[in-house]
């Protein structure tokens, strides 16, 4: 029983992190109908930034996540301004190909610059620390990252649902032309949304380096899982992304422990296949 609870908690914490990564993707899709293929590589960029800030600058991830959040916001906004804004609107294909190209570029750039080696920060503030909850051991870096990710997710949700700016974002998603008629500069809303999507992985990637290694392929796996979560949760839904992320985190942990570690992603993709066959619009899709 204790072991089961332990596995569940580990899964939940992973899921909480996934939720923030997926929320950025979901937001971009929901507002702009753009599949951001380089989302995972943005996460990788954030992790490298955090790693180098820690390794060279001695800045701990508990501080440097702010810098990677801001940096990835800017990277997202720039990507919109320089790439996406030129190819959006006609069909879904051009932005998809453009971001796919960007993902290849970023991955290979890091491969070339930083080698394929796994790099992990030593002696971080949280690294290796645990707290005990009865007989359950909770890794402090995982806990902090998970709780912080969900907090950010709620902040994002609040922004979208409760503020005038958030209503403008929703209005732009629902009917861009009508939003323009309200005086909403929808091009700027798109810029902001791409920036926010970047900030989500910027913060997530910044925190993760407390306990996870960075390497050029790290974005691929996280990106893929984020796609699964967004598809499971229903495109564009932040609460859906949270629920789906927690489910995926737990399935991954349970399969990894009770079947075999190599099976954890098999289980995740099986679950995905089953759900998509039964409910093509996702668990919480409309």
Partner 1 sequence: MNNAMLEVEGIHCAYDGVPVVHGVSLNVSQGEIVAIVGANGAGKSTTMKAIAGLHHPTRGRIRFLGQDITQTPGYAMIAKGISYVPEGRRLFAKLSVRENLELGAYTEKNRAVIDQRLEQVFTLFPILADRAKQVAETLSGGEQQMCAIARGLMSGPKLLMLDELSLGLMPALVEKVIATVVEINRQGTTILLVEQMVQEALEIADRGYVLQTGRIVQEGPAKALLASDSVRKAYMGL
State the residues that interact with partner 1 by CB under 8 A: 164, 167-168, 170-171, 174-175, 177-186
Question: CB of residue 164 vs partner 1: minimum separation in angstroms?
Answer: 6
Nearer to partner 1, 90 or 113 (CB): 90
Nearer to partner 1, 31 or 246 (CB): 31
Nearer to partner 1, 58 or 183 (CB): 183
35 backbone dihedrals φ, ψ, rounded to 5°: -90, 110
CB count within 10 Å of CB 71 equals 20
Q: Three-class SS of residue 183?
A: coil
Nearer to partner 1, 169 or 228 (CB): 169
- Treating both helix axes as pointing N-terminal to C-terminal, what angle do 218-233 and 93-114 enclose, rounded to 10 degrees? 150
How far, in Å, CA of 226 to CA of 42, rounded?
12
How far, in Å, CA of 171 to CA of 196, rounded?
17
Q: Three-class SS of residue 59?
A: coil
Nearer to partner 1, 160 or 255 (CB): 160
Q: Which helix (H) or strand (E) holds 8?
A: helix 2-32
Question: CB of residue 185 vs partner 1: minimum separation in angstroms?
Answer: 5
Question: CB of residue 90 vs partner 1: minimum separation in angstroms?
Answer: 12
Question: CB of residue 232 vs partner 1: minimum separation in angstroms?
Answer: 21
Question: CB of residue 269 vs partner 1: minimum separation in angstroms?
Answer: 31
């Amino acid at each position: 029983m204790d072991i089961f609870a332990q596995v569940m908690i580990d899964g939940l914490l992973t899921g909480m992190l996934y939720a923030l990564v997926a929320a950025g993707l979901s937001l971009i899709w929901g507002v702009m109908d753009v599949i951001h293929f380089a989302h995972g590589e943005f996460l990788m960029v954030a992790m490298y930034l955090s790693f180098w800030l820690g390794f060279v600058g001695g800045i701990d991830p508990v501080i440097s996540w702010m810098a990677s959040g801001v940096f990835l916001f800017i990277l997202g906004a720039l990507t919109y301004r320089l790439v996406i804004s030129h190819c959006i609107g006609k069909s879904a294909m051009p932005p998809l190909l453009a971001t796919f190209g960007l993902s290849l570029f970023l991955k290979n750039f890091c491969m070339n610059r930083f080698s394929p080696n796994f790099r992990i920060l030593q002696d971080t503030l949280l690294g290796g620390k645990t707290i005990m909850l009865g007989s359950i051991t909770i890794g402090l870096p995982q806990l902090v990252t998970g709780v912080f990710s969900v907090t950010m997710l709620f902040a994002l949700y609040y922004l979208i649902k409760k503020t005038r700016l958030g209503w403008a974002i929703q209005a732009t998603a629902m009917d861009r032309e009508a939003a323009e008629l309200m005086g909403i500069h929808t091009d700027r809303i798109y810029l902001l949304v791409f920036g926010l999507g970047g900030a989500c992985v910027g913060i997530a990637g910044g925190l993760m380096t407390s306990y996870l290694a960075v390497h050029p392929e790290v974005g691929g796996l996280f990106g893929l899982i984020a796609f699964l979560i967004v598809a499971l949760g229903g495109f564009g839904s932040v609460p859906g992304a949270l629920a789906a992320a927690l489910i995926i985190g737990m399935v991954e942990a349970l399969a990894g422990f009770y079947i075999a570690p190599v099976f954890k992603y098999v289980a995740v993709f099986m679950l995905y296949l089953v759900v998509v066959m039964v409910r093509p619009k996702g668990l919480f899709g409309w």
